[in-house]
Amino acid sequence: MASLFPRRLLGRRNRATQTERVRERKHEGFLRYANFRWAKISGGLCLLVITSYALIDVTPRANGGSWYGYTLGTIGAGLILWLTALGYRKRKMTRDAWSLKAWTSAHVYLGLSLVVIGTWHTGFQLGWNVHTLAWALMMLVILSGLYGVIVYATLPAALSNNRDEMTQMQMLEAIRAFDRQLHAAAQPLSPEDTAPVLASLDEDPFAGGIRARLTGRYPKDATAAALRALSLAHGGNADARQKVIGLLSQKEAALARLRAHLRIRAMLEIWLYVHVPLTFALIAALSAHIISVFFYW
């Protein structure tokens, strides 16, 4: 299954770690697919639109309601629906001529050509109305797609560096091991000293919202707080405390690795939260746009 997409690969629980490696090797596949076939087709289409627009003199003023505008609009709407079909297509992969790679390659390049088709369809008449809303949503979907392709091409290397041959479950396992050792090592501590250790044990390594995931910053991190508290503590069993401090800083390092991993994965995934919902908003706006034109014909 020489597949290309991180998201697909990451999605399957049992294959997740094994396929993480595949992702890092294959991420470029769909861009160069068939010697840039779809890049050429899409580029040619754009060129055709731009030159014909310049040559054809639509009266009194270029807009979506001219015959030329209708043509571009029909092609554009058709393309948008077809691009959306990728979402469904992805879920039932086949190995025929229309492999996932071909499909994605076409999706990316034809999607980009919509910048020209959609914008030239407007005849550069934009305003605060449903027609421009559809155009703006289309542009946002395309921009988010562009971001997606860029991170797919650049971030997997960072992911691999951070992982350092560990799987993500091994990263979690390391934290679990430190927790067990901390729990044992902290038994002789006084109640005041155990409280911060307990807070560190009680902290979910996956806690933190979308902000924390994307920035990798966890200001209320209980393990860092425990380290600070125990470093300042006096009295009680100093030897045991020293051992706990050592374990806490090791746990902190393991947490940092896991959080860096979560951050890169978040950046690899965030764009889909724009791309997919805005696609549906786009289809809604597009429907309103088309219906409105015929409604107030």
List residues near ligand HEM by CB under 6 A.
5, 7, 80, 83-84, 86-87, 90, 104, 107-108, 111-112, 114, 138, 141-142, 145-146, 148-149, 272, 275-276, 279
* CB of 2 closer than 8 Å to CB of 21: no
Q: What's the CA gap between 257 and 3, in Å, rounded?
A: 27
| 42 vs 168, beta carbon nearer ligand HEM | 42
Q: Which residues within the stretch 183-222 sit at the binding site for another protein (CB under 8 A)? A: 183-184, 186-187, 189-191, 194, 197-198, 201-206, 208-210, 213
Please pick, from the candidates 12, 25, 32, 40, the single residue that binds another protein as defined by CB under 8 A.
12
Q: Which residues within the stretch 145-164 sit at the binding site for another protein (CB under 8 A)? A: none
CA 233 to chain centre: 43
> Least separation, in Å, of the C-beta of 32 and another protein?
28
Ramachandran quadrant class, 164 (left: phi over 0; alpha: psi -120 to 50; beta: rest): left
| 102 vs 214, beta carbon nearer another protein | 214
237 contact partners, CB below 8 Å, separation of at least 6: 188, 189, 190
Binder of residue 11, out of another protein, ligand HEM, none (CB less than 5 to 8 A by kind): another protein
Binder of residue 197, out of ligand HEM, another protein, none (CB less than 5 to 8 A by kind): another protein
* CB of 249 closer than 8 Å to CB of 267: no
> Least separation, in Å, of the C-beta of 66 and another protein?
7
Ramachandran quadrant class, 207 (left: phi over 0; alpha: psi -120 to 50; beta: rest): beta
* CB of 248 closer than 8 Å to CB of 197: yes
User: Which residue in this structure is represented by tokens 């597009």?
Assistant: 286
User: In terms of residues, how long is the chain?
Assistant: 297
Q: Which residues within the stretch 125-144 sit at the binding site for another protein (CB under 8 A)? A: 125, 127, 129-131, 133
* CB of 175 closer than 8 Å to CB of 254: yes
| 80 vs 182, beta carbon nearer ligand HEM | 80
Binder of residue 113, out of ligand HEM, another protein, none (CB less than 5 to 8 A by kind): none
